Structure 1
Amino acid sequence: MTGLELPPSAVDVDYGALGWGAGRTMSDFEAGMWRLEAAEPRLRSTIAAIDVLDTTPDWDRLVAAHEWALGVVPRFRMRVVDPPFQLGKPVWSVDPEFDLGYHLRRIRLPEPGTFAAALELCRTVVDRPFDRARPPWEALLVEGLADGTAIYLLKTHHSITDGMGGMQLVTLLHSRRREPTPDKPSALPPPPEQLSGLDALREQLTDQIRTLPETVLSRAQAGLRLAERAVRDPGSAIGFTQSLLRLAAPPSCPPSPILRGRGLGRRFGTLETTVDELRGAAKAAGGSLNDAYLAALLAGFRRYHERLDAPIDLLPIGMPISLRDSADPMGGNRFGVARFAAPIGVRDPADRIRRIRELVLDARAEPAADILTLAAPALSRLPVAAVARWYLGQTSLIDLQASNVAGIPVPVYMAGARIDRMFPFAPAPGCGVMATLVSHTGTCCIGVTIDTAAVTEPDVFLECLAEGLDEVLALRPAKPRTPKKRPSSGRTTRAKKSTNDRTEGAQ
């Protein structure tokens, strides 16, 4: 939703046929994300993007751009209707009282208008739970920054999409020039619906009865194929079962003794470097950009533990992995999560990168990487409160989740303002820290979501993360580096080119 204007190269695209987020019914996995937070607020699944704009966009043009986007992406006019007693899945229904003025707002910072103040303001907005009777998204334009820039915040619920699906959307909707795009394709908004929970249940039951023969036949054929495959290749079936057991087991190392708390308090921080710098450091150690990124985070965690006189050798971490392929529909959620004991105690950054590379390659090769989707149908039939307690118990065993999402490699604009940085902030549902990297026009933009019950000294922690990043970047062949600091909770440097590994996440 952040793009809002049509790239000139795509004026012939039939946006009505794109089908981004077109599914009416949530998957079992998405239903879990929607329902669990109602029973356990610490499992809130809000994702946010904070765009740094080079200037303040024209407000009327920004509003018009949102109105256009709402026509071509109907999902953002839809609220969630949940059948009573969890007897069906939540469905997306066009809000009969949709009000853009509720979802899109603007605010001016008091002087001196710093980036740190804007980041903290955005954090308070993201912290607020959604009005579950309305479409679960909000946007905020923050004006009044002293350096002439502006901030655009987009806050959405994770049940709408994951990180990769979100990047699909912004790539489609961002403009590639400052000037307005005349005669761009548009679409009429969908008609409003007066849908109740009982209506949603009746609709699903009717559809299930209509498709019952086809469903039974499809499942029987799928079961037969699995049985044939097990007979033909018993090693594969055994390997899948072993993989399933590994992924279902607790992490192989205990959580950090100083990161045990879990609560509702959050703190945002940012770090950045160039793609070329981080990739250069990775290459020097025989790893990928993602390996170097994880090594930098672990260095920050090591330094934080040493500052608090609690050094450890291993840290349980989770890593979302994209499971999308070309046949998957746009939008929605399609990811798995790998968990492993990360070598936080390895002081040599090159050795740390090499060890991380082995762990990541093993994690991405797990046959049962889709365990979340596989378990969701069974979990959806259990009481929500019980599932929430179990899930929080599982995620609380993870101290760090780290995600890496390929971003947009070319300059893009929003209502005439260029997007210079795109900081992602994923939820930390039960874990101590969630870090997300998005590559944007050559810059690695890293957003860090901190649970302040786990990280009780967030300022110290963010300093340690910045030092950890410098530690890894020092591996790059000698070349003058000119960091440019922004008064934020992290660090900034400038860059020119962007790509990324496929590792993905947004929880």
Structure 2
Amino acid sequence: MGAFDAVMYGIEGDPLLRSGIIAVVVLDSPPDRTQVADRTERLTRLFPRLRERAVGNPLSPAPPRWETDPNFDPSYHIRWRRLTDDDAGIPDALEYAARMGEADFDRSRPLWEIAILTGLADGQSAVIFKIHHSVADGMGGLAMSAALFDLDPDPGDLGPLPPAPESHPAGLLGRVVQATEFEVGALDEVVRGSIKASLRAARAVVTSPIGSTMTLGRTAASAAAMLAPQGDPKSGWMAGRSLSCVFSLIDVPVEPLKEAARGAEATLNVVFMAAVADAVGTYHRRHGHELPSIRVNMPVNQRKPGDDATGNHWAPARFVVPTDDIDPQVRLYQLHGLIDHARRDPALDLSDVVYKTLALLPDPVTERLAGSLMKGVDVAATNVPGPPIPVYLCGARVNTLVPFAPKSGAAINIGFLTYDGTAFVGINSDPAAVADPGELTECLAEAFAKYTE
């Protein structure tokens, strides 16, 4: 496993830090069973990681290895279910998806599964994808799922299947050798990375003493803040944590949000975060709780052209967002600089070295360090661009495409994905922290409406 993937896998000794990513796709009709089987087979050959299981190293703190499952059975990973209620709808599908989100994976198999729910009102169906964060991040998961989507109901001949990967499981000696190679290689990378950073800093001091000294000071302060325990969440009212999930959904037209962003010379992500801050603050005030600010965890995409869809290519940006009751446009200007600064934090460049170091530590140590960083977060938020035009899945049109990212220690994780002119917002709430998830969802809808009216 890569260092970041290994950390996402290893911290789950604490179940509050589970990191399953869920995507709910609502279709206008049930997908074709034969196409589902065929396309899934193709998908797992295009992305062999989906046929691989994580195998641990018994005598080493090195992270697990990915090995092709010799007993891979795609039918295990795909479950068909029919909702029995006559008036079953999207809320029922979201409740089913939330139960999937609460459950852990079978670690002896590849870390993904699909549930296909039929029997929804108006002939609709729902396809629920679940994948472990160590397999792929949100952007990578979307890239892989693109192999399932088509631009019309009948895509025609897709060409020959790629060859299926062969399984060559390592024995005990082989795993010990693999673990040793990882430890030596990771330690070498950490040392080399530190030396390179020191040399760059030394050259900078010679060429620009004052400017480089200020930069080094900012980088050191940022790195210290990245690794410092976060303490308690900013919201004492939303401090409870549990394994339970409540999924809710709103949809918002994208174009008015883009116009609001352009008017403030900001990005769509800033409008998204402004709505989140507005909603969480409003929710607290309605219940008599003052909340000046929240601590937010937001992934910063670090993918480069040519990076694999599998694996994680992002760095965590943590920052404090004001939640006071102010004019929506003022909030946009306020957050524009704050988020831009968080995305340009010099400590993000050190995240690769940091996570390689964490990957060398025993899982309980990594779990404790990561938990101290993640459990002090109030809200996690992620923004993923989806297809800008209508797509089809195994013969059925996609009406809704919404992500539900893992809470991973936060009270709420709010995912924002754009598809065919609509922004779909998936809210994953911890009921131990959010007493009324329905009201929080209403507050979020009201906050977005301030930028769409």
TM-score (norm 1): 0.82
Secondary structure of residue in 1 paired with 2:346: coil
Aligned to 1:201: 176
Q: Separation in 1 of the partners of 2:172 and 2:76?
A: 24
Q: Check 1:278–1:198 CA distance in 2 against 1; reply closer, same or farther (3 A cut).
A: farther
Pick from 400, 424, 427 the counterpart of residue 421 of structure 1.
400
Aligned to 1:385: 364
Q: Deviations over 1:164-209 (max 9, x none)?
A: 2122222344222211421524212111233356532323436888
Q: What are the within-5 Å matches in structure 2 for residues 284-433 of structure 1? A: 284-326=263-305, 328-433=307-412
Whether the 8 Å contact between 2:136 and 2:309 is mirrored in structure 1 is no
Secondary structure of residue in 2 paired with 1:147: helix
Q: Separation in 2 of the partners of 1:335 and 1:425?
A: 17
Report how far residue 413 of structure 1 moved. 1.5
Aligned to 1:135: 110
Q: Separation in 2 of the partners of 1:377 and 1:217?
A: 11
RMSD of aligned alpha carbons: 2.6
Q: Check 1:198–1:82 CA distance in 2 against 1; reply closer, same or farther (3 A cut).
A: farther
Q: Separation in 2 of the partners of 1:355 and 1:52?
A: 36
One-letter amino acid matched to 1:442: G
Pick from 23, 40, 43 the counterpart of residue 14 of structure 2.
40
> Are 2:154 and 1:175 equivalent residues in the alignment?
no
Q: What are the within-5 Å matches in structure 2 for residues 70-219 of structure 1? A: 70-110=44-84, 111-196=86-171, 198-205=173-180
Q: Separation in 1 of the partners of 2:81 and 2:191?
A: 56
Q: Deviations over 1:388-439 (max 9, x none)?
A: 2332232222101111111111222211112222100110111111111111
> Are 2:67 and 1:67 equivalent residues in the alignment?
no
One-letter amino acid matched to 2:116: L
Residues matched between the structures, number: 447
Report how far residue 251 of structure 1 moved. 6.0
Q: Separation in 1 of the partners of 2:181 and 2:318?
A: 40
Q: Separation in 1 of the partners of 2:347 and 2:198?
A: 19
> Are 2:24 and 1:50 equivalent residues in the alignment?
yes
- Point out where structure 1 has 5 or more consecutive residues left out of the alignment: 1-25, 475-507
Q: Separation in 2 of the partners of 1:342 and 1:254?
A: 13
Q: Separation in 2 of the partners of 1:216 and 1:267?
A: 40
Whether the 8 Å contact between 2:60 and 2:176 is mirrored in structure 1 is no
Question: Kindly, what percent of the aligned residue pairs are identical?
Answer: 32
Q: Deviations over 1:110-157 (max 9, x none)?
A: 122211111101111222100000000001111001121111111000
One-letter amino acid matched to 2:9: W
Q: Separation in 1 of the partners of 2:191 and 2:8?
A: 30
> Are 2:420 and 1:446 equivalent residues in the alignment?
no
Q: Separation in 1 of the partners of 2:349 and 2:419?
A: 28
Secondary structure of residue in 1 paired with 2:108: coil
Q: Separation in 2 of the partners of 1:387 and 1:167?
A: 28
Pick from 15, 27, 34 the counterpart of residue 2 of structure 2.
27
Q: Check 1:63–1:193 CA distance in 2 against 1; reply closer, same or farther (3 A cut).
A: same
Q: Separation in 2 of the partners of 1:468 and 1:350?
A: 12
One-letter amino acid matched to 1:46: G
Q: Deviations over 1:240-259 (max 9, x none)?
A: 22332343346699611201
Q: Check 1:216–1:399 CA distance in 2 against 1; reply closer, same or farther (3 A cut).
A: closer
Whether the 8 Å contact between 2:190 and 2:356 is mirrored in structure 1 is no
Report how far residue 225 of structure 1 moved. 4.4
Q: Separation in 2 of the partners of 1:340 and 1:217?
A: 29
Moved more, 323-332 or 418-427: 323-332
Moved more, 240-249 or 75-84: 240-249
Secondary structure of residue in 2 paired with 1:135: coil
Whether the 8 Å contact between 2:246 and 2:429 is mirrored in structure 1 is yes
Q: Separation in 2 of the partners of 1:169 and 1:79?
A: 17
Moved more, 443-452 or 200-209: 200-209
Q: Separation in 2 of the partners of 1:58 and 1:275?
A: 31
Whether the 8 Å contact between 1:81 and 1:196 is mirrored in structure 2 is no
Q: Deviations over 1:270-327 (max 9, x none)?
A: 1111110211233344432111111111121112101211022211112111112225
Q: Separation in 1 of the partners of 2:172 and 2:387?
A: 39
Q: Check 1:336–1:218 CA distance in 2 against 1; reply closer, same or farther (3 A cut).
A: closer
Secondary structure of residue in 2 paired with 1:444: strand
Report how far residue 228 of structure 1 moved. 4.7
One-letter amino acid matched to 1:71: R
One-letter amino acid matched to 1:408: P
Q: Check 1:207–1:29 CA distance in 2 against 1; reply closer, same or farther (3 A cut).
A: closer
Whether the 8 Å contact between 1:79 and 1:133 is mirrored in structure 2 is yes
Whether the 8 Å contact between 1:62 and 1:415 is mirrored in structure 2 is yes
Q: Deviations over 1:332-354 (max 9, x none)?
A: 11111222221200321111111
> Are 2:278 and 1:276 equivalent residues in the alignment?
no
One-letter amino acid matched to 1:277: P
Whether the 8 Å contact between 1:139 and 1:152 is mirrored in structure 2 is yes
